[in-house]
Amino acid sequence: MTGALTAVPSPRKVDTGVRDTGAIADGLADVLADTYRLVFKTHACHWNVEGPAFYSMHKLTEEQYEDMFTAADQLAERIRALGHLAPSRMDEVLNRSKIEDPSGKLNAGEMAQDLAASHVRIAQRMHALAELAGQCRDIVTEDLATERSAFHEQAAWMLHAIAKS
């Protein structure tokens, strides 16, 4: 039992033909950090939204934060599959993320606009990650980034549509 609890996570070399796994792992860690920040923002809107758009925003944000929470695990596991360590400290998540917290209290429309802007930001970073992954012969990460970008683009569209009401 002594050895079972003393293992320390460490990076390892992976030889699958993917080039520059460090750069890809960094890109994955960045979008993982963004995803975690947006999970919290989305959950906060889910808890606090009020007004005529309550039900639609409450339901939509629940679907979105559940999807992103699952995606965070997939992103972290891809980092590990590439032989690198996933972020393990909240300060690292905060430092890597480009997602900003809103200032002040927001109404439902402002919440929707703020979340939509964050989804657009992550979609942009996913596009860059997919491009990098393609250049590095990492079709798995390229596919994951493409799939996640599609989610964020659709989420932004839906939130923009709600904000118009």
Report pLDDT digits (tens) over 68-125.
Answer: 999 999 999 999 999 999 999 999 999 999 999 999 999 999 999 999 999 999 999 9
Q: Which residue has the higher pLDDT, 42 or 18?
A: 42
Q: In the chain, pLDDT over 70 holds for what percent of residues?
A: 97
Q: How confident is the model at residue 165 (pLDDT cuts 50, 70, 90)?
A: low
Residue 11 placed within a domain: no
Residue 16: its pLDDT value, please? 80
Q: Are 123 and 156 in contact (CB under 8 A)?
A: yes
Query: Three-state DSSP class for 1?
Result: coil
Q: Please state the rounded mean pLDDT for residues 59-67.
A: 98
Looking at the 3D structure of the chain, how many domains does it have?
Answer: 1
Place of tokens 């796994």: 21
- Using CA atoms of 104, 105, 111, 113 in order, give the dihedral in degrees to the nearest 10: -40
At residue 5, does pLDDT exceed 90?
no
| Residues found in the chain | 165
| pTM > 0.75: yes or no | yes
Query: Three-state DSSP class for 164?
Result: coil
Q: How confident is the model at residue 15 (pLDDT cuts 50, 70, 90)?
A: confident
Q: What is the CATH number of the domain that holds 122?
A: 1.20.1260.10
Residue 3 placed within a domain: no
Residue numbers of the domain that contains 44: 20-96+105-163
Residue 114 placed within a domain: yes
Please report which residue ranges of 11-89 form alpha helices under DSSP H: 21-48, 54-81
Residue 2 placed within a domain: no
Cβ-based neighbours of 41, under 8 Å, separated by 6 or more: 99, 101, 102, 114, 115, 118
Residue 10 placed within a domain: no
Residue 62 placed within a domain: yes
Cα 43 to Cα 64: distance, rounded to the nearest angstrom: 9
Q: How far apart are the first and last CA of the chain?
A: 60
Cα 114 to Cα 50: distance, rounded to the nearest angstrom: 16
Least confident residue range of 6-10, 20-24, 95-99, 154-158: 6-10
Cα 41 to Cα 101: distance, rounded to the nearest angstrom: 7
Residue 13 placed within a domain: no
Residue 37 placed within a domain: yes
